[in-house]
Structure 1
C-alpha cells in the first residue's frame, strides 16, 4: 500500500510542479493523472502496486463527495440564478462526451480488428 500511495503522491507532485513552472491553465490533478498514466505505460509503476490504495479510496469515496455537496448547498442562490444555463451546459456536455467516447471506442475496436 505504501508503494501505491507514494506513486499517487509522486504523480500529483509532478502535476503540481508542471503547473508551477509552466503556468499552464490546467488543473495539477489532471496533469498528475497523465503522469501516473505515463508511469504505468512505461512500467515504472505496476498496477499491482496501486491496487491496495485504489481499493481503500473506492471504499471511502462517499467522504470525498461531502465537500462538493456542502458547497452546492451553501451556493444554492447562485445556482438558482443561473439554473437554466447550468442545466443546458450539463446536458449538452454530457451528450457530447457520450458521442466522443463512443466514437473513440469504435475507432479503437476497428483498429484492433485490423
Structure 2
C-alpha cells in the first residue's frame, strides 16, 4: 500500500512539474492523473499496492469533500447572490459526469465481452 501511495504522490509531483515547466493551463494533479492513466493503459494492469491505496482512498472519498463544502459555506453570501451560475454549474457538471460515466461503462462492458442488455434480473425487480 505504501508503494501505491508513493506512486500516486510521484505522479502528482510529475504532473505539477510538467504544468509548471510547460506553462499548461491545467491543475498539476489532473496532469498527474492523466499520466498515471496513460501508464496504466500502457502497462495493462494495476499494481496491487496501487489497487489497495486507491481502494482505501475511494472508501473514504466523502472526507475529501469536507474542505470544499466548508469553502463554499465561507462564501455563502456570494453564492446566495450569484445562485444561478452556481446552480447551472452544479447541474451541468452532474449531467456531464453522468453521460461520461455511462459511456465509459458501455465501453468497458464491450471491451470485457459482457453483453449489453437492458434486461433486469427477476430478483432485482
Most deviating of 52-61 and 26-35: 52-61
Which runs of no fewer than 5 residues in structure 2 stay unpaired?
114-125
TM-score scaled to structure 1, two decimals? 0.77
Counterpart CA distance in 1 for 2:112 and 2:59 is 34
* Aligned pairs, number: 113
Most deviating of 24-33 and 50-59: 50-59
The corresponding residue for 1:74 is: 74
The alignment yields a C-alpha RMSD, in angstroms, of 2.8
Which runs of no fewer than 5 residues in structure 1 stay unpaired?
none
Alignment of 1:1-114 (within 5 A): 1-43=1-43, 46-99=46-99, 102=102
* 1:11 and 1:32 in contact (8 A); partners too: yes
Counterpart CA distance in 1 for 2:47 and 2:66 is 28
TM-score scaled to structure 2, two decimals? 0.71
- Relative to its length, the structure with more helix (as a share) is 1
Counterpart CA distance in 2 for 1:47 and 1:17 is 24
Counterpart CA distance in 2 for 1:44 and 1:95 is 30
For residues 81-102 of structure 1, what are the alpha-carbon distances to aligned partners after superposition, in whole Å with 9 as ceiling and x for unaligned? 1001221232234334544555
Shift of 1:48: 1.8
SS in 2 for 1:24: coil
* 1:14 and 1:32 in contact (8 A); partners too: yes
Q: Could you say if the C-alpha distance between residues 110 and 4 of structure 1 is closer, same or farther in structure 2, counting changes exceeding 3 Å?
A: closer
